[in-house]
Chains A and B, each alone.
Chain A
Amino acid sequence: MTLAQVESSRIDWEGALVERARAGDTRAFERLYREHAGRVYGLCLRMTREPHLAEDCTQETFINAWRALAQFETRSSLGTWLHRIAVNVTLGKRRKAGREEPLPEGEIEEEGFEPHWTLETPVEVREIEDAIGALPTGARDALVLHALYGYSHTEAAQMLGLAEGTCKAQLHRARKLLRERLNVEVG
């Protein structure tokens, strides 16, 4: 069995549930929800910083996903697709509440430097989460998508509706602020 076939059989499993959900099987959709709810809520919570708002975003994400299932291509990652919807939902709610921030001035990281988001000394999880929560919204969004959820600069920028350079600027800002707050080098 080739790697492509292995990947294909893994996707098939979820793909089979998606197909059933598309045909109106809410039980199949519930299984998809159970599989992905944690990661969607985790993203919403870190972006909104408010559990009730994060719950609203999560619910709306899955409701929107149900409605848009016909457009989902089963070859791609359902998790990523759900995250895209979650980011749209969160940004939409933020716009409605008038909580958008101006974009930072273009400080860019040194050319070619790509942080791995490692910490010089270990830090308590609670402390890190609080530090991330205290970041300005734009910096936090970029950091959460890129450093926590592993999206590339291009993907994170697309999801946030930003130019890639702006996204990188936000990441640079996030790194600087985390360093100051945690008093630890962020490499």
Chain B
Amino acid sequence: MTEQGRKGVIRSLGELPQGIEPEADLWPQIEAQIAGRAQAAPAETTPVSRAASGTRLRWLAAAAMVGCVAVGVWIGHSASLGGAAAPPLAGAGHPGAGALQTAWVADPRYQRQHAELMRSLGDQVAALPPASRAKVMASLTTIREAKHNLEEALGKDPGNALLQELLVNTYQDEMRVLTDVREASDAGKGI
């Protein structure tokens, strides 16, 4: 049934609009009530179930997994990238650190998945249509450069929440691209 306006004539009760927007925005009061319980929610709710299905790397599941590393947590270089040693942690003496907690974490699941995708990247790109190959490699280079620039900036300002958030997102984006390439190359091989 559609959400039509409340004017005009109708020939059946089913044509009446189901949705009617309240005059006032009720969300602020609702949010005020639930916000107090939001902090307790993780302890009260059942464990979040994974959306991924089977062993097939769905791009949303990959992004969600990387997202579990959490904003505000420092993500380490991927071993498969042979990355340089991590920049120093936010020191207590660094005035920009603010209240953010930073820690050095290299999530093992992320490391494993990333390494697996990187290992087979060459074959997967080769299986893509020619029009895609150069563009995909260029995009992966763009992401790598972005990661490098963000990490360099974070090295100078480790407590910067904006940079941390953008870096987490860039890692997620890289996983999404690698997963998309894998799916796309499977599509090509399946013909």
Listed in ascending order, the chain A residues whose CB lies under 8 Å from chain B are 12, 15-16, 19, 22-24, 26, 29-30, 33-34, 37-39, 41-43, 45, 51, 54-55, 58-59, 62-63, 66-67, 69-70, 74, 116-119, 122-126, 128-129, 143, 147-150
Contacts and interface: CB of A to CB of B under 8 A. Distances in A.
Given A19-B49, A116-B12, A122-B11, A42 B18 contact: yes
Contact of A15 (B33, B37, B46, B51): B51
A116 B13 CA distance: 9
B13 to A, nearest CB: 4
B135 interface: no
A128 B137 CA distance: 62
Contacts of B34: 26, 29, 63, 66-67
A10 B158 CA distance: 40
> Which residue among B7, B8, B26, B33 has the maximum number of chain A CB atoms within 10 Å of its CB?
B26
28 contacts: A12-B51, A16-B60, A22-B45, A22-B46, A23-B41, A26-B31, A33-B30, A37-B21, A38-B18, A38-B20, A38-B21, A39-B18, A45-B20, A58-B26, A59-B33, A66-B34, A117-B12, A118-B12, A118-B13, A119-B10, A125-B7, A125-B8, A128-B16, A129-B6, A147-B14, A148-B13, A148-B16, A148-B18
Contact of B16 (A23, A69, A122, A129): A129
Interface in B1-47: 1, 3, 6-14, 16-24, 26-27, 29-31, 33-35, 37-39, 41-42, 44-46
Which residue of B1, B6, B14 has the most chain A CB atoms within 10 A of its CB atom?
Answer: B14
Interface of B: 1, 3, 6-14, 16-24, 26-27, 29-31, 33-35, 37-39, 41-42, 44-46, 48-49, 51, 60
A39 to B, nearest CB: 5
A70 B6 contact: no
Given A22-B46, A66-B37, A116-B12, 7 more contacts: A12-B51, A33-B30, A55-B26, A62-B30, A119-B13, A122-B10, A149-B18
